[in-house]
Every structure is written in structure tokens, then in C-alpha cells.
Amino acid sequence: MKNIISPENTANFFLSECRERGEVLTNLKLQKLLYYAQAWYLALKDKPLFSEDFEAWVHGPVLPSQYQRFKKSEWRPILDEISSPNIPNDEIISHLTEVVNVFGIETASNLESMTHNEFPWKDARQDIPIDKPSNAIITKDSMKSFYKTLI
């Protein structure tokens, strides 16, 4: 499956957009913005933004490639220099901007709580205790079907 936009470009967009608004992102919050961007694109367009799967980690959905990319920031704001995001079209820019408008106002901790209370994360973790590590995949089908019910 071909990416409409790469996870790296999606992360770069969120980091750039938030910096322009005078905000900083931690890896935790970035992960949730990436998750909601993918989830809502699946629900609205019936296709994913990118092919990489999210995993159901203790603190919510995580896109492993982007977690590893910014891992050294730990819980601190990501201050890395990033390249300008290469966004393929205005529709994607509009979608990602709306994700920042809706979810960017929430704290990382609120976003974590939101994802913990939503079906895709719970379904992926099944009977895994909330405080135990997991690399269980949050399926795109689960994301698409759950978020479609919220439209």
C-alpha cells in the first residue's frame, strides 16, 4: 500500500504547525496527533494516510518509527530541527490542520485518556493489563469502523 503522506512528513507538519502557533509538542502528544490524523482520515476517506500500523502501548497508540525518531526527547518538548513538511495537496493540509485545531488544544494526558477510552486501543490490548507493555497492532479496520460511528 502506497503512503499518501509519509509518517515523517505528517510528524513534521504537526511539529511545524504547532511551533507556528507558539506551542511545543512532546513525543506523547505527537503520537496522539498522528493517531487521530490516521483514524479520522480512515473514517472520512476510507483509506489510510500511511501504511505503518499503530501499536497499543501503555500510554496509548504509538507509531513506532516516529516514536524512535524522537525518543531522545523523552517527556520533554521536541526541539529537533525538522525539514519542511512535503504535503501532497491542499486536502491533506486541511485535514492535518483540522486535527491540530481539534486535538492540539488538549493536553497529552487528556489525549492519552481519550484513546484509552476508545474501542481501537482497548480492542488491540484485549486482556493485557493497562500498565503492561504491548506491541499489539491497532488495526486500520478497527480505527475506521469505530471513528465512522462518530461521524
Q: Report pTM.
A: 0.97
Confidence at residue 3, expressed as pLDDT on a 0 to 100 scale: 76
CA 44 to chain centre: 16
76: left (phi over 0), alpha (psi -120 to 50) or beta: beta
Please check whether residue 111 lies inside any domain of the structure. yes
Out of 49-58, 77-86, 93-102, which region has the weakest mean confidence (pLDDT)? 77-86
% of the chain residues with pLDDT over 70 = 99
Q: What is the pLDDT of residues 92-116, one digit of tens each?
A: 999 999 999 999 999 999 999 999 9
- The pLDDT assigned to 88 comes to 84
Tell me if 97 is assigned to some domain.
Answer: yes
26: in domain: yes
Q: Is residue 1, in this structure, part of any structural domain at all?
A: no
All cell numbers assigned to 145: 469502523
**Residue 2 is assigned to a structural domain of this protein:** no
| Cα within 13 Å of Cα(72), Cβ side | 3
pLDDT in tens, 26-52: 999 999 999 999 999 999 999 999 999
Residue 20 in domain: yes
pLDDT of residue 1 exceeding 90: no
Per residue in 108-150, pLDDT (tens digit) is 999 999 999 999 999 999 999 999 999 999 999 999 999 999 9
Give the count of domains, the chain: 1
C-alpha of 49 from chain center: 11
- Identify the domain containing residue 46 by its residue range: 7-148
CA distance 78 to 1: 30
| Gap between the Cα atoms of 148 and 131, Å rounded | 29
